[in-house]
Chains A and B, each alone.
Chain A
């Protein structure tokens, strides 16, 4: 057997899973977005009506979703960077403890965490009762739960571990030698940070931002459970098209419209990141 052949067949099962259960279904799902629905049955067609419907009916939901995802992605990336920076450069022997906490919270129960925030943020919840007991507020803050604020808090909490790890991965790769060289040559802390630390973090920052942005933009469980009656994100509409209206074509058109929107935001973010992080 040729050298190349021998190292090619073992990857076939993995690519078969990827092709049959990712590329195939997503391609079919894209095709369905151009089909019609007649009497609850899918009818092959080539129509842009579904996309036009999405544009006229869900544009505001899509924009709201992209904006709240942008806010959450920026918050998690900044806080995630600070935690990673703390663990790498400032925390000394506590650095490993911080990483351990991050890893423990990475895999622990998506639904369970959302449920926990529901009990923390409610008017009778721990946060409000503690604030009242401390005398900081007179009556419970009703806007903490069933509001966009609750969605932001819950998702930032859930996504932080996913942002700390890739950024820490980038920071770990930074050598101490150029840092001390720059300082010996008279560069201040801010200058070292801006010209050496940040540019090297670019891949980690982008990965962190992309993961938290995409997961938020496609989420429907968090807004459903803690967002209240007025926080509808695109995911809620996509889900309800499938579950309540059994309308796969509109649901898939909305999914792909959101994916395109997300792709544009990520492209813009990468361009901005490259421009901002260019060493002067």
Chain B
């Protein structure tokens, strides 16, 4: 396209400002997690690890970390299995029908989390279920599986199903055919899909908060800290959550074709 120097400058300016706007809250949390001062103001004081030390000394942190690991790993594993099964079958449907099915299964992602959380909490409690990690995990599945399905489906679109069919014709069981033919071809995609599902699950606050009962995960621990006195170890905790979700999503995006 035609580029006058003025429009080039304006776009450059817009790009810089918008990137700074996107990154500033994240950068701030990371920087202040190493700052000496109690208040997040400039100047930030000397470099320190003391907020991390304070966090590590807090037993609530360890229980929240343990719960988050249980939930995130279970949700990652289960949604990857369920989502992959669905995506492999959908890849052999007519594209129109498959897209309609995927749109339907993606509705939970569009629903405001508060409404979904309250619907789940009301239903689960009227069934007489006690809340805990066993109610959080299924509740997460419903909004993480769409990501797995979309990611794996995008990959399966260029999978050569003739390979699978000939293996089956030559007598391979479905499981044998899957593990020897399909899995080696889509292994990195599956890891990527699992990591995205885990990031989404790890970051969820609202649905976890309403379905967990008395326990804590890392985001609900952040919520508790936000509501009490100003506590800079929140920056340290935030940085740890950011490192976990950003690392896993960057790895995921670099090994899959999925781009939003």
Check B42–A22 contact: CB distance below 8 A: no
Selected from B39, B85, B110, B210, the residue in CB contact (under 8 A) with A214 is B110
Check A112–B40 contact: CB distance below 8 A: no
User: Given A125-B40, A157-B25, A219-B112: A29 and B119 within 8 A (CB)?
Assistant: yes
Question: Is chain B's binding surface mostly helix, strand, loop or mixed?
Answer: helix
Chain A CB within 10 A, most for which of B1, B2, B88, B115: B115
Chain A CB within 10 A, most for which of B26, B196, B253: B26
Q: Is A21 an interface residue (CB 8 A)?
A: yes
Check B24–A120 contact: CB distance below 8 A: yes
B103: shortest Cβ distance to chain A, in Å?
A: 11
Check B142–A21 contact: CB distance below 8 A: yes
B182: shortest Cβ distance to chain A, in Å?
A: 12
Check A129–B141 contact: CB distance below 8 A: no
* Chain A hits for B149, CB < 8 A: 14
Closest to A95 in B: B15
Selected from B23, B105, B116, B234, the residue in CB contact (under 8 A) with A26 is B116
* Chain B hits for A179, CB < 8 A: 1
Report, as a range, how many residues of chain A touch the other chain.
35 or more
Check B122–A28 contact: CB distance below 8 A: yes
Of B52-60, B186-194, B240-248, the one contacting chain A is B240-248
* Chain B hits for A24, CB < 8 A: 123
* Chain B hits for A231, CB < 8 A: none
Selected from A15, A83, A107, A125, the residue in CB contact (under 8 A) with B246 is A107
Q: Is B226 an interface residue (CB 8 A)?
A: yes
Check A259–B250 contact: CB distance below 8 A: no
Check B246–A124 contact: CB distance below 8 A: no
* Chain A hits for B199, CB < 8 A: 107
Check A17–B145 contact: CB distance below 8 A: yes
* Chain B hits for A103, CB < 8 A: 249-250, 253, 259-260
Q: Is A105 an interface residue (CB 8 A)?
A: yes
* Chain B hits for A9, CB < 8 A: 89
User: Given A7-B92, A22-B142, A29-B122: A108 and B26 within 8 A (CB)?
Assistant: yes
Q: Is B29 an interface residue (CB 8 A)?
A: yes
* B interface size (C-beta, 8 A): 79
Check A106–B141 contact: CB distance below 8 A: no
Q: Is B215 an interface residue (CB 8 A)?
A: no
Chain A positions 131 through 158: 1 when the CB is less than 8 Å from some CB of chain B, otherwise 0: 0000000000000000000000000010
Check B15–A86 contact: CB distance below 8 A: yes
Q: Is B19 an interface residue (CB 8 A)?
A: yes
| Those of A6-32 within 8 Å (CB) of chain B | 7-11, 13-15, 17-18, 20-22, 24-26, 28-29, 32
24 A-B pairs in the complex with CB atoms less than 8 angstroms apart = A9-B89, A10-B85, A14-B86, A17-B82, A18-B104, A26-B115, A28-B122, A86-B15, A86-B18, A101-B23, A103-B259, A104-B246, A104-B249, A106-B249, A107-B200, A115-B238, A116-B24, A119-B32, A189-B2, A215-B112, A248-B118, A252-B118, A252-B122, A259-B115
Sort A-B residue pairs by CB-CB distance and give the 3 closest, nearest first: A218-B112, A165-B260, A116-B25
Could you tell me which B residues sit within 8 Å of A by CB distance? 1-3, 8, 11, 14-15, 18-19, 21-26, 28-29, 32, 39-42, 82-83, 85-86, 88-90, 92-93, 101, 104-105, 107-108, 110-116, 118-124, 126, 138-139, 141-142, 145, 149, 196, 199-200, 203, 205-206, 210, 219, 222-223, 226, 234, 238, 241-242, 245-246, 249-250, 253, 259-260
